[in-house]
Amino acid sequence: MACLGVGLIGTGYMGKCHALAWNAVAPVFGDVERPRLVGLAEVEAALARRRADEFGFESATSNWRDLLSDPDIDVISITTPNQFHAEMAVAALEAGKHVWCEKPMATTLADAERMLAASRASGKVTVMGYNYIQNPLIRHMAALVAQGAIGAVTHVRVEMDEDYMADPDEPFYWKSEARSGYGALDDFAVHPLSLLSVLVGLPVEVMTDMSKPYADRPAREGGRRAVENHDIASVLLRFGEGPSGVLMANRSAWGRKGRIFVQIYGSEGALLYDQERMNEFQLYDRAGEPANHGFRTVLTSGSHPIYGRFVPAPGHGLGFNDLKIIECRELLAAVAGEPAHIVDFERGLAIERAVHAMAQSHSEGRWMKVS
C-alpha cells in the first residue's frame, strides 16, 4: 500500500483523535506504509504551529484551503464543527483529495446531498467518523445477528447519553447553536444509527419528541444566551416488516459519561452492549437447561479479529482512540480498492435522511417515513 500524504483541518478533541490514528495506524497494523503527515490547519496560526509540532505534522496554516492546493496531500481529515463539514468536504473532493469527515455529515439534507454528489463526481474515497462501528465486538455482534444466533430480531433499543451539557450553567458554545444542527440528533443519534446500520439496518419510519432541558446558558460575552437546539431526543422506530425499536439521545444526562446502550432482542435470545464497557458484551441464549439460563458476559480477545493487532492478551481491552485507528486502517483499505468496513458518504446520507425525518417528525407531531 503506497504512502499517503495527510492534511488535517481542526485540532480540537477529534483533531487530536485523527492525528493519533494517523500516527499509530502503521505500527499497530504493520501492513501499511506510514502515512506522511504533511500539514494541518487551525484558525490561529500560532495554535496551528503548536499543534503541528505536538501531532508530528510538517507544516501549519491558518487557511485550510492551503491544504487543498498542496500536491503532497492525498487525504484530508475534517474535524471542525458541524457547520463547516459540507464546504470543506466538497472543496477537498473537488481538489482531488480523499476525505475522512467527522460526523454528522452536514447540518442540512441539501448539504449532505451535495457532499455525496461531489464524492461520486470525484471517484475519491469518503469515510465518515462513525468510529463505534469499528469495535471488534460490534462486528462480532453483527455477525451473530446475521448468523441467526438470537433468531429473528423482534425489537431493538439504542440509547446514547452523556452529561457534558447536564449542568445548566455550562457555558454556551457552538454545539448549542442552530447552525450546528438539531442538537442531540446530529450530535448523538447519528452514532446509534450508525450502529443500527451494521447490526439490523436503518429504520424506515420514525416518530420523535425533542426537548430542551435548559432554555439558556451563560454566554462568554456575559449574561445568558438562548439555547437554539434540543439536548434530548426520544424516537420510536419502525423497520418495515422487521423489528420495532426505540432510540433515545440525551447530552444532559447526569452520570452518563459515554453511554451507548444497545439491546437487541430476538426469538431465540438477546444481545446487550454498552460503550461505557466497550470491552464486553452480553449474550442470552434460550437453548439448554432453563435452570442455567441467564446473560453471559463475553470479554474481547484475539478471537474477535483486529483486537490482537493492539494487544496479544485477552480481556486487557481497547480504548476509544483505538476505534479511530481501526477506522483509519479501513480508510487505507478503501483507498487501496480493498473491501472496507466504513460508513462512506452513500451510507452517511442514509443516516442523515433518518435524522432529518426524525426532526421533521418532531416539528409536525407525526410519524415520518425515511425517504
The C-alpha angle 43, 48, 50, rounded to 5 degrees, equals: 145
CB nearest ligand NAD: which residue?
12
Question: What is the closest distance, in whole angstroms, from the C-beta atom of residue 186 to ligand NAD in the complex?
Answer: 7
5 binds ligand NAD (CB under 6 A): no
84 scored as a contact of ligand NAD (CB under 6 A): yes
CB atoms within 10 A of CB 122: 18
Measured from the CB atom, the residue of 82 and 234 that comes closer to ligand NAD is: 82
State yes or no: residue 103 binds ligand NAD (CB under 6 A). yes
If one asks whether residue 131 binds ligand NAD (CB under 6 A), the answer comes out as yes
C-beta separation of 139 from 305 below 8 A = yes
If binding means CB under 6 A, how many residues of this protein chain bind ligand NAD? 20
Q: Kindly state the smallest distance separating residue 104's Cβ from ligand NAD, in Å.
A: 6
**Alpha carbons 192 and 227: distance in angstroms, whole number:** 24
| E strand or H helix at 50 | helix 45-55
Minimum CB–partner distance for residue 65 and ligand NAD (Å): 9
How far from 186 is each of 66, 312, 348, CA to CA, in Å? 29, 36, 12
Element (H, E) at 110: helix 109-122
Q: Which of 102, 231, 322, 352 binds ligand NAD (CB under 6 A)?
A: 102
What is the contact mask toward ligand NAD in residues 173 to 212, using x (rule: CB under 6 A)? ----------------------------------------
Q: How far apart are the first and last CA of the chain?
A: 38
Name the grid cell of 56.
508530528
Site for ligand NAD in 22-61 (CB under 6 A): 41-43
* Least spacing, CB of residue 7 vs ligand NAD, in Å: 11
Cis peptide before 104 (omega within 30 of 0): yes
The residue range among 11-19, 153-161, 343-351, 355-363 that interacts with ligand NAD, by the rule CB under 6 A, is 11-19
Contacting range for ligand NAD; rule: CB under 6 A; set: 9-17, 22-30, 141-149, 360-368: 9-17
CB neighbour list of residue 159: distance below 8 Å, 6 or more residues apart: 192, 247, 248, 249, 250, 259, 260, 261
> Closest separation between CB of residue 236 and ligand NAD, Å?
25
Q: Is residue 292 at the binding interface for ligand NAD, with CB under 6 A as the rule?
A: no
CA-closest candidate to residue 273, choices 128, 135, 146, 154: 135
Choose the binding region for ligand NAD from 79-87, 214-222, 301-309, 350-358 (rule: CB under 6 A): 79-87
Contact 137, 281 (CB under 8 A): yes
Q: Are strands 259-266 and 269-274 parallel, antiparallel or unpaired?
A: antiparallel
DSSP state of 171: P
Nearest distance, CB of residue 75 and ligand NAD, angstroms: 16
Can you tell me the distance from the alpha carbon of 69 to that of 63, in angstroms, rounded to the nearest whole number? 11
Contact (Cβ atoms closer than 8 angstroms) between residue 250 and residue 241: no
- Is residue 161 a contact partner of residue 259, using CB atoms and an 8 Å limit? yes
Give just the sign of the alpha carbon dihedral 127, 129, 134, 138: negative
Select 77 or 270, whichever has its Cβ closest to ligand NAD.
Answer: 77
Closer of 79 and 119 to ligand NAD (Cβ): 79
> 452514532: which residue's cell?
191
102 forms bridges with which residues in the sheet? none
By beta-carbon proximity to ligand NAD, the closer residue of 14 and 270 is: 14
Contact status: 100 vs ligand NAD (CB under 6 A) = no
User: Interface with ligand NAD includes 86 (CB under 6 A)?
Assistant: no
Among 59, 77, 80, 107, binds ligand NAD (CB under 6 A): 80
Q: Is 7 in the site for ligand NAD (CB under 6 A)?
A: no
The residues binding ligand NAD (CB under 6 A) are 9-15, 41-43, 64, 79-82, 84, 102-103, 129, 131
